[in-house]
Chain A
Amino acid sequence: MSEGALGKIYTDGEVIIKQDAAGDCMYVVQSGQVEIVQSTAAGEQHLNLLSAGDFFGEMALFEKEVRSATARAVGDAKVLKVDKKALFRRLQEDPLLATNLLQTMSHRIRALSKQLADHEADSR
């Protein structure tokens, strides 16, 4: 995926979205890397490392829940914010716009299912 020029630069370790905070937008990584981490009782869990072209925070578009994880820059990262309003305005006219989002979400469910299966196999 080629790198994008727009958005905002976040420096190494800077938090882009915080777990448990409210949110009404999603983000697209334009350049650099973004780490997704989740705080649990057992400590901080690394969930994913995203690079140019990857989305995050998209769950907040479809449900009214708080952010499920924290996203922070690894090195300098450029990230573009996509407003819920701008996206939903277009989705009304062009439902196919959701295809890319659905694809990403479906990849994530697949990866999670695999992780879960691996985890169960390990613990047996």
Chain B
Amino acid sequence: MKHSSELSVLDSFASLANEEEAELSLSNGSRVAVVGGGPAGSFFSFFLLKMAAAVDLQIEVDIYDPRSFAHCGPAGCNHCGGIVSESLVQILATEGINLPESVVQRGIESYLVHMDVGSVAIQNQAGEQRIAALYRGNGPREGGESRWESFDGYLQALAKKKGARVLHQLITNIHWRKGYPCLQFADQKEARYDLIAVASGVNSNFLRLLEDMPAGFEPPRTTRAYVCEFKSTEAEILRILGNSVHVYLLPIPRLEFAAIIPKGEFATVVMLGDDLDQELVHTFLNDPAVGASFPSNAVPCVCSCSPLINMGARKRPYADRMVLVGDSGVTRLYKDGIGAAFRTAKAAASTAVFQGISEQTFRKNFWPACQTITKDNAIGRFMFGTTGILKRFRFLRCVILRMAAREQAHTSRKPHMSSLLWNMFTGSAPYTEIFVGALHPGFIGNLTLNFVANMWPGKKRKEVS
């Protein structure tokens, strides 16, 4: 049994801890700053204000971002392929956010997989357009007057409508004063906040500033990608690319993956690989498989960039009064980064409103949502690793093509390979689910059959088209 004086000491420590914990929560009049007004920042602000309103909590939210999404070209763009995944489109609709015609440039119906051994179109099984191709900013440099708006601008407007203030200022530094985070601006002025959500992505220096903080955040691992825009006419882009994203699995050294995405009068080329340089870009664009599927009269590279892509967080993305959402914290490997920004931003917002803003609270309530993504990424890493094997063996590419083509031609068959390719390329399902699908006896059986059939010389010519 504990002595009574011992009890009172323990009790007072406990109540002190509770008081501290109680202080580390949002209350009426609390001020929240969001560094970065991309998807993660806007989703965070939108949900924070929506949830706060639901429990009559009055808070102020300031979104800081120097970028204006009304600008054409890189100045108004958060460099990306511009695909909003099937799963995110459905979830947004459930949340009451229906992407409008002014933002969606093309509703995607199918993915065309091009390999050196042939091409196959994988149709959306839902039989409808549930993937959006859009521009994050106001379109490429050569865009001129356009009837479309920026996706990031649209999300920011949603957050504004909920009551967020958007301030076009760059945050140049961050420090702690009496336990509160303070943001510093270019003119050296400072502002103190109760909570800071970092949504600066990985394409600015902001995360480096966090390395010196007590929590010692390390920026995520990154690699460079390449994005360029080809200009043609709307009719020509539609004629050649259709409502399809074209993905390329070609045995070109250093090139992991490439895609061409149709949008209005432009086509966006996205490339991922090791040491992407002009030589590799040219090799890809001159490949016969690319030439056959690409607008012949397009003006090449009217706008291009080499943005960084998040390849994995190194540190837990939270501290007392601070949380990192979207690319600056944890994101999905290669696919559906905007969907991951939505998930982490919403998890952080609900933690802040309903649970608190201490490190401990974020660990308990926000971190599990991040962990779901990081664990799934581990499987994803393995699955993308297998594309290396695929690139090495032409025979395997033929088997995959044959199996997918036959499934697409005979819709009564269970689409084992088509589902795998669809989910891998569109990012519509978690990698774990795709992996489990690949272990299905039906998948393995069909793969084996196609393997054997592909060795039959006469049949091989007939089946692969």
User: Which residues does A use to contact B, with CB under 8 Å?
Assistant: 1-8, 28, 30, 52-53, 55, 80-83, 86-87, 89-90, 93-94, 96-97, 99-101
Given the interface contacts A6-B107, A93-B372, does A80 sit within 8 Å of B90 by beta carbon?
Answer: yes
CA distance A72 to B100 in the complex (A): 22
0 or 1 for each of B76-88: is its CB under 8 Å from A? (1 = yes): 0000000000110
CA distance A100 to B97 in the complex (A): 11
Interchain CB contact under 8 A, B430 and A89: yes
Q: Is B346 among interface residues, defined by CB-CB distance under 8 A?
A: yes
CA distance A30 to B93 in the complex (A): 9
Interface size class of B (residues with CB under 8 A): 20 to 34
Interchain CB contact under 8 A, A86 and B87: yes
Interchain CB contact under 8 A, A28 and B98: yes
Given the interface contacts A28-B93, A80-B90, A82-B94, does A8 sit within 8 Å of B129 by beta carbon?
Answer: yes
Given the interface contacts A80-B89, A93-B369, A96-B350, does A6 sit within 8 Å of B132 by beta carbon?
Answer: yes
Interchain CB contact under 8 A, A7 and B128: yes
- Closest-CB distance, B315 to chain A (whole angstroms): 22
Interchain CB contact under 8 A, A5 and B93: no
Out of A1, A2, A87, name the residue touching B94 (CB < 8 Å).
Answer: A87
Interchain CB contact under 8 A, A5 and B96: no
Q: DSSP majority for the A interface?
A: mixed
Interchain CB contact under 8 A, B343 and A93: yes
Interchain CB contact under 8 A, A96 and B132: no
CA distance A11 to B350 in the complex (A): 40
Interchain CB contact under 8 A, B51 and A6: no
Interchain CB contact under 8 A, A3 and B91: no
Listed residue (A96, A97, A101) with the most chain B CB atoms within 10 angstroms of its CB = A96
- Closest-CB distance, B114 to chain A (whole angstroms): 25
Q: Is B103 among interface residues, defined by CB-CB distance under 8 A?
A: yes
Residue of A nearest to B339 (CB): A90
Known interface pairs A53-B96, A100-B96; 19 further A-B residue pairs with C-beta atoms within 8 A, sorted by A's residue number: A1-B98, A3-B100, A4-B98, A5-B107, A5-B132, A6-B98, A6-B99, A6-B104, A8-B128, A28-B94, A52-B98, A55-B94, A80-B93, A81-B128, A87-B91, A96-B350, A97-B95, A100-B94, A100-B95
Q: Is B186 among interface residues, defined by CB-CB distance under 8 A?
A: no
Interchain CB contact under 8 A, B346 and A86: no
Interchain CB contact under 8 A, A97 and B94: yes
CA distance A96 to B353 in the complex (A): 12
Interchain CB contact under 8 A, B98 and A82: no
Interchain CB contact under 8 A, A6 and B89: yes
Interchain CB contact under 8 A, A8 and B127: yes
Interchain CB contact under 8 A, A80 and B100: no
CA distance A93 to B94 in the complex (A): 15
Interchain CB contact under 8 A, B94 and A101: yes
- Closest-CB distance, B346 to chain A (whole angstroms): 6
Interchain CB contact under 8 A, A96 and B51: yes
CA distance A100 to B92 in the complex (A): 11
CA distance A28 to B343 in the complex (A): 21
List, in ascending order, chain B residues with CB within 8 A of A82's CB: 90, 93-94
- Closest-CB distance, B211 to chain A (whole angstroms): 30
Out of A30, A53, A94, name the residue touching B347 (CB < 8 Å).
Answer: A94
Q: Is B130 among interface residues, defined by CB-CB distance under 8 A?
A: yes
- Closest-CB distance, B459 to chain A (whole angstroms): 35
CA distance A87 to B87 in the complex (A): 8
Out of A1, A80, A89, name the residue touching B128 (CB < 8 Å).
Answer: A80
Q: Is B23 among interface residues, defined by CB-CB distance under 8 A?
A: no
Given the interface contacts A53-B96, A96-B346, A100-B96, does A5 sit within 8 Å of B101 by beta carbon?
Answer: yes
CA distance A96 to B96 in the complex (A): 13
CA distance A80 to B104 in the complex (A): 14
Out of B51, B126, B343, B346, name the residue touching A81 (CB < 8 Å).
Answer: B126
List, in ascending order, chain B residues with CB within 8 A of A89's CB: 87, 430
Listed residue (A3, A7, A52, A97) with the most chain B CB atoms within 10 angstroms of its CB = A7
- Closest-CB distance, A95 to chain B (whole angstroms): 9
Out of B51, B104, B126, B346, name the residue touching A5 (CB < 8 Å).
Answer: B104
Interchain CB contact under 8 A, B372 and A90: no
Residue of A nearest to B54 (CB): A99
